[in-house]
Amino acid sequence: MAQNSFIPSKGKWLIKEHTFAASVAATEKGDMIQVTASGITVALGTSTATAIIGIAAEDSALTTATRTIRVFEPTSKMCEFIGQVTDGAIAAGFTDSNRPCDLEDHEGIDTDTDSEHSFTIVRGLVATADGSSTAGKGVFRIAQTMDNLSSF
């Protein structure tokens, strides 16, 4: 269950309305949202996301039509959020601080990959070992915010 997988925790976050691409799967509050390749619509975050826009602020049912969704967007790179670590390892405390990592999927972070440079680890809250079935938890920052998009 993705409900509240990611929660804005520090800094100023604005709620903005965006157009969801047609046929995007059902979305729950707390899912990570990315900009699509067109730069015009948004979709659920994936492991290959090059531009994370923010965190879903509401649930949205599956539909074949385009629809709008409200999204928490950070106003700066210093805004922090709490999120699940669903792949990779994270230590409790500041051991992994400032290490870049990527999104595993719209419900969790992969701390062992850094091909897209999507996030920066601030600190670990709940430790988890690589390959563990127990999800970890940490505080993160979005590294590729909307104000830094240059590829669209």
pLDDT digits (tens, 9 = 90+) for 5-56: 899 999 999 999 999 877 778 899 999 999 887 778 888 998 888 789 999 9
Q: Let me know whether 15 and 67 are in one domain.
A: yes
What separation, in Å, do the N-terminal and C-terminal C-alpha atoms of the chain show? 32
The domain boundary residue, chosen from 59, 74, 89: 74
pLDDT at residue 3 greater than cutoff 70: no
**Final residue belonging to a domain, choices 52, 74, 96:** 74
Last residue of a domain, one of 74, 97, 116: 74
0.85 exceeded by the pTM?
A: yes
Asked if 11 contacts 55 with a C-beta cutoff of 8 angstroms, the reply is no
Query: For residue range 88-119, what is the model confidence (pLDDT) as tens digits?
Result: 999 999 999 999 999 999 999 999 988 888 99
What six digits make up the tokens of 134?
Answer: 């127990």
The range of the structural domain enclosing residue 130 comes to 80-148
Q: What's the number of domains the chain is made of? A: 2
pLDDT computed for residue 12 by the predictor: 95
Q: Is residue 85 part of a domain?
A: yes
Amino acid at position 50, single letter: T
pLDDT tens figures, 52-73: 999 999 998 887 777 899 999 9
- Same-domain check for residues 98 and 112: yes
Q: What would the DSSP string read from start to end of 115-133?
A: SS--EEEEEEEE-B-TT-S
Q: Name the token pair of 48.
A: 């290959």
Establish if 1 belongs to a structural domain.
no
**Residue 98's pLDDT is what?**
95
